[in-house]
Amino acid sequence: MNVVPGPAVTPAPMFGTLVESRRERGSPLRILALQIAIAAHVLVLAVIAIDKWLEVPPIPAPVVRAAFATVAPPPPPPPPAPKPAAAASVPRVETPMPQGLVQPEETPVDIITSPIPNGSGSDAGVEGGVEGGVEGGVPGGQVPPEPTIYKLGEAATTPELIQSVEPVYPPMARSARVQGTVILKIIILADGTVGDIVTLRGQSMGLTEAAIDAVRQRRYRAAQLDGVAVPFQMTVLVHFKLSN
């Protein structure tokens, strides 16, 4: 009997198909697990790094250096001053009063008298003198009173200017072109000269001094009262003006 061979039938790989199917089903899970594990590691490392970065290093305690100085105690107060010794009491000797006239045992032969020279420097006054008198003056003399100084509108006549001196313009004031009027109060004496000078209004750059020097050289016909020359007080103005 002849048997005709048919087509070869290859058995189905049963076990291989099962393994391949298991591998295909399990591969996504493994990839997911791997990703989760990597993410967890990265997170842990990040937390550790941030913790290290935020960690504050310990601050060392400062070194305190203390120095102790010994202060010397204050000196003791000085001892009290000794009390002054009581003055020794001098016994008082009582002189007996004479009961009658007693004749001296020896009569002096000559009595020397010396006059007190004038100007001896004694501060003792003289009987009949006045306070403020001059030493060596005449007993009973009087201090002459201060002369009366007359003014405008009073009984004395007004002084008349007979010699005037122009003031010298100070070079500094001339260069700076300083101008103005100096007002002075002067006393014209009985001889016609100028005595005391008081500045009522002055100027700068030496104008006041120049005005005083010029006024002091003036000469007046003195004021008269009942035919007698008397001192007189008046106000004068000295003008300083530059020409253009």
Banded pLDDT at 11 (limits 50, 70, 90): low
pLDDT at 234 > cutoff 70: yes
Banded pLDDT at 82 (limits 50, 70, 90): confident
Mean pLDDT value across residues 141-146: 69
For each of the domains in the chain, give its residue range(s) and CATH number, in order of start: 160-240 (3.30.2420.10)
Note the residue count of the chain. Answer: 244
Q: What is the CA radius of gyration of the chain?
A: 66
Q: What is the pLDDT of residue 121?
A: 46
The rounded mean pLDDT for the chain is: 76
Cβ partners under 8 Å of residue 206, min gap 6: 170, 172, 173
Q: What is the pLDDT of residue 75?
A: 81
Phi-psi sector, 128: left (phi>0), alpha (psi -120 to 50), beta: left
Q: What is the pLDDT of residue 46?
A: 86
Q: What is the pLDDT of residue 65?
A: 74
Backbone angles phi, psi at 232, to 5 degrees: -140, 140
Using CA atoms in the order 204, 205, 210, 212, what is the torsion angle rounded to 10 degrees? 30
Question: How far is residue 133 CA from its own chain's centroid?
Answer: 47
pLDDT at 178 > cutoff 50: yes
* Integer Cα distance of 186 and 199 in angstroms: 9
Mean pLDDT value across residues 16-30: 58
pLDDT at 32 > cutoff 80: yes
Please give the structure tokens belonging to residue 237: 């103005």
**Considering the entire predicted model, what is its pTM?**
0.43
Of the CA atoms within 13 Å of residue 131, those in its CB half-sphere come to 0
Mean pLDDT value across residues 105-117: 50
Reported as type and span, the H/E element at residue 107 is none
Mean pLDDT value across residues 97-102: 54
* Integer Cα distance of 35 and 29 in angstroms: 10
Q: What's at 111, amino acid-wise?
A: I
pLDDT at 38 > cutoff 80: yes
CA dihedral (142, 144, 146, 150) positive or negative: positive
**Is 182 in contact with 202 (CB distance < 8 Å)?**
yes
